[in-house]
Amino acid sequence: MIRFQKKNLLYKIYTWLPILALFISVFNEFDFNYLNIDYFSFNFPFILIFYFALKAYQRFDYFLVFLAGLFNDTVVGLPLGISSMSYILICIFATYLRNITISPNLIKDWFYFLFIISLINSINFSVLFLFFSYELDITLFIVNNFFTFLFYIIFSIFFKRYLKSLDD
């Protein structure tokens, strides 16, 4: 395991890694869409935001999450503010879950995550379709929702290790 000297610049960057990953993913659309697998896509920012908001990670600034949403809208071509709202709603739901949970359970979190992303994707779809007259394929939304749900468990293992490495 790599060990950093505290107050080292590299250590500081390491502590900001979730936010950096979030910005890289929104700039870069990190979702393996270029693999051209039919219908395959997942929303990495949703997983990242939910996990770190749930764990109340100190460096995970909500304002930066909000900014990442604005950038995502610009890159993807959605009306400005849609992704920001989605990301902040995820933060709210994650914070609520944290507040009501006494003993955290990964499986419970996982299914709660499914409920949250389904709700948020539904809101997104409705807003885009009703207010902005976007033609969207609901199948793509459902598939994206499903894969995001599946990938949560995989990424949560990595994120857990990351948080543990910081505690050490």
Partner 1 sequence: MAESRDDFIIAIRSAFLNKSTKQKFSLLTLVFFSIVIIILSSFNFKAITVTKSVIKEIVYRSSFIVSIPENLIKSSYVNLNEYTNFYKEYKQTKEELDQLKSENISTKIIKSENEELKSLIDGYTITSNKILAKVIVDHESPFLRSIIINKGSKEKIKIGTNIYDRSYLVGRVIEVNYTNSRVLLLTDLNSNIPVSITPGNVQAIVVGNGDKKGEIKYIKNDLINKIDGQGIAYTSGTGSIFKSGIPVGTIDLKDENEKILINFYSDFSQLKYVFAEIDELIPTPVETKANDQTQVSSNTEQIKLDLISDELQILEDSNTKFLEENKELNTLTNDLTKQIEILKSENEYQKSVIQQHNLDQEELEFLRLNLIYSSRCQSKKLFSTGFQVGTEEYKRCIMRKGKISD
Binding residue for partner 1, selected from 8, 81, 105, 160, defined by CB under 8 A: 81
State the minimum distance, in angstroms, from the CB of residue 115 to partner 1.
15
Nearer residue to partner 1 within complex by CB, 74 or 157: 74
Q: Should residue 5 be labelled a site residue for partner 1 when binding is judged by CB under 8 A?
A: no
Q: What is the DSSP letter of 16?
A: T
CB of 45 closer than 8 Å to CB of 25 = yes
Contacts of 152 (CB under 8 A, 6+ apart): 47, 50, 51, 110, 113
Instruction: Report residue 91 as tokens.
Output: 């933060």
The residue range among 35-43, 44-52, 111-119, 151-159 that interacts with partner 1, by the rule CB under 8 A, is 35-43
3-state secondary structure 38-85: CCCCCCHHHHHHHHHHHCCCCCCCHHHHHHHHHHHHHHHCCCCCHHHH
Please count the residues of this chain forming the interface with partner 1, following the rule CB under 8 A: 53
CB of 61 closer than 8 Å to CB of 88 = no
Binding residue for partner 1, selected from 4, 110, 141, 151, defined by CB under 8 A: 141
Site residues for partner 1 per CB under 8 A: 23-24, 27-29, 31, 33-34, 36, 38, 41, 56, 58-59, 61-63, 65-66, 69-71, 74-82, 84-85, 88-89, 91-93, 95-96, 99-100, 127, 131-132, 134-137, 140-141, 143-144
